[in-house]
Amino acid sequence: MSDINTAQAPRLDGGATTSVFSDPSWRAVAAAFAFNGALFGTWASRVPAFKGQFSLDAAELGLLLLVLAAGAIIAFPLAGLFSDRLGARRVTFVTAVLYGPVLALLGFAQGPFMLALALFVFGALHGAMDVGMNGWGARVEEKLGRPVMSVFHALFSLGAGVGAGLGVLATHMSLSPATHLPVAAVLFAVPTLALLVIADAHRPEGVRKQEQPGKVKMFAIPRGTLLLVGLIAFGVSIGEGAMADWSAVFLRDATAATESAAALGYAVFSTTMVATRLAGDTLITRLGPVVVVRASGIVAALGIIMVVTANAVPMALTGFAVVGVGYAVVMPLVFSRAARDPDTPSGTAIAAVATLGYGGMLLGPVLVGFVAHLTTLAIAMSMLAALAIGVALLARFINPAN
């Protein structure tokens, strides 16, 4: 289980003619992204059940979620190291094998402490697989000679939606996590692992150019243009985190939306993000990554301005939809660019920008809440527009030649 560790840029001229669907590696990476999202969505759908089962208050639940995030952040550099030494394909396969059983174990936790331990491992596998599959996806992108990362990230979102949807169904059927989570793990793991094995069987011999272990660092602080690429990830992920946690609150406070209408804010944002990611690779092929990132930052900023100036629910929802379009394809391009960094091994580079991105996702809601406390929620949300403009200004660094 190994992969090509070269750093060639994928062609963006649309010249490749082979259908991506016929490529076993493409199908395997697509399945890995969907699988990673599905298991995370499954867990997220049962958070209320765990909260009730262990009588957790808001602070205790927050600590458990922080433990999960800590597992992911600690795993990022380790996954980057192993991706560079052993290959992103192998890291993806190993984490996929372990990810399902750990999800199942969550359902059998006998108390908050055991649940915290299981969540730490679950978060670590989630983060490690994220690094591995993005690295493998970048290699597939190079082989196919066309952008494909945007569709991979769309499949993660779709997988998360399917996992969460089946979780809702399990809740309505009164299935306990101890029953639901093992069933979901098997349901999602079997087809995914089958596609991973098939992809390995079709792998040509001698395709791996392995990094010398002495040249690979466990963690490399991003510097130069990679740091600027990481700042792009940081700016976008702060906005994504804020959308998840503050969109409904903003709609209720600013437009007096009902509770059900307020919940539509994040739903609209997520829907347009997935739809744009599905079309994102075509846009990148036609316009190029620099133009797409620059336009994305501008579109996201305009959407946020629409949101904070809205005095009615329809305009605010339209703004959230526009923000989803703006944020959609930036992170896939960031991971693709990191994998092709000329100065840092691909796994280490992906781990570095993933850490910045995940950190932004965690910091975003906190930052918005802090600024809203000092000023107003509208002013706090307006910061996201400034960050989006910053993304547009840094867009040229998404091209390794710059």
Q: What is the pLDDT of residues 213-253, one digit of tens each?
A: 445 555 556 677 899 999 999 999 999 988 877 888 888 88
Is there a contact between 331 and 153 (Cβ–Cβ < 8 Å)? Answer: yes
| 234 burial type by CB count under 10 A (0-12 exposed, 13-18 middle, 19+ buried) | buried
Position 263 pLDDT exceeds 50: yes
- Dump pLDDT digits (tens) for 49-61: 888 889 988 778 8
Q: Percentage of residues in the chain with pLDDT exceeding 90?
A: 52
Tally of domains in the chain: 2
Tokens of 335: 């991971």
- Residue 17: pLDDT band (50, 70, 90) is very low
Whether residues 47 and 155 share a domain: the answer is yes
Whether residues 24 and 84 share a domain: the answer is yes
Is there a contact between 237 and 245 (Cβ–Cβ < 8 Å)? Answer: no
More confident residue, 17 or 152: 152
The CA distance from 302 to 388, in Å, is: 9
- Dump pLDDT digits (tens) for 351-380: 989 888 888 888 888 888 888 888 888 999
Whether residues 34 and 162 share a domain: the answer is yes
- Residue 33: pLDDT band (50, 70, 90) is very high
More confident residue, 18 or 265: 265
Angstrom distances, CA of residue 312 to CA of 215, 324, 371: 57, 19, 23
Whether residues 135 and 250 share a domain: the answer is no
Position 160 pLDDT exceeds 70: yes
More confident residue, 223 or 136: 136
- Dump pLDDT digits (tens) for 175-201: 999 999 999 999 999 999 999 999 887
- Using the 3D structure, point to which of 205, 235, 259 is the last residue of a domain: 205
Whether residues 135 and 257 share a domain: the answer is no
Within a domain: 344: yes
The CA distance from 84 to 278, in Å, is: 29
Within a domain: 2: no
Contacts of 119 (CB under 8 A, 6+ apart): 64, 67, 68, 71, 106
Within a domain: 15: no
Whether residues 260 and 302 share a domain: the answer is yes
Tokens of 77: 């550099």
Whether residues 183 and 326 share a domain: the answer is no
Within a domain: 326: yes
Within a domain: 173: yes
Within a domain: 170: yes
pLDDT reported for residue 373: 87
Please compute the mean of the pLDDT values over residues 85-112 and round it to a whole number.
Answer: 94
Whether residues 169 and 306 share a domain: the answer is no
- Dump pLDDT digits (tens) for 206-219: 444 443 444 555 55
Within a domain: 216: no
Whether residues 285 and 372 share a domain: the answer is yes
Tokens of 112: 């908050």
Least confident of 126-135, 137-146, 378-387: 137-146
Containing structural domain, residue 155:
20-205
- Using the 3D structure, point to which of 153, 178, 205 is the last residue of a domain: 205
Within a domain: 272: yes
User: What CATH number does the domain containing 295 carry?
Assistant: 1.20.1250.20
Whether residues 231 and 296 share a domain: the answer is yes
The CA distance from 79 to 278, in Å, is: 27
Mean pLDDT, rounded, of the chain: 86
Alpha carbon dihedral 344, 350, 356, 361, in 10-degree steps, equals 170
- Using the 3D structure, point to which of 143, 173, 205 is the last residue of a domain: 205
Whether residues 49 and 140 share a domain: the answer is yes
Whether residues 237 and 188 share a domain: the answer is no
Residues written for the chain: 402
Considering the entire predicted model, what is its pTM? 0.83
Angstrom distances, CA of residue 160 to CA of 135, 247, 251, 379: 20, 19, 24, 31
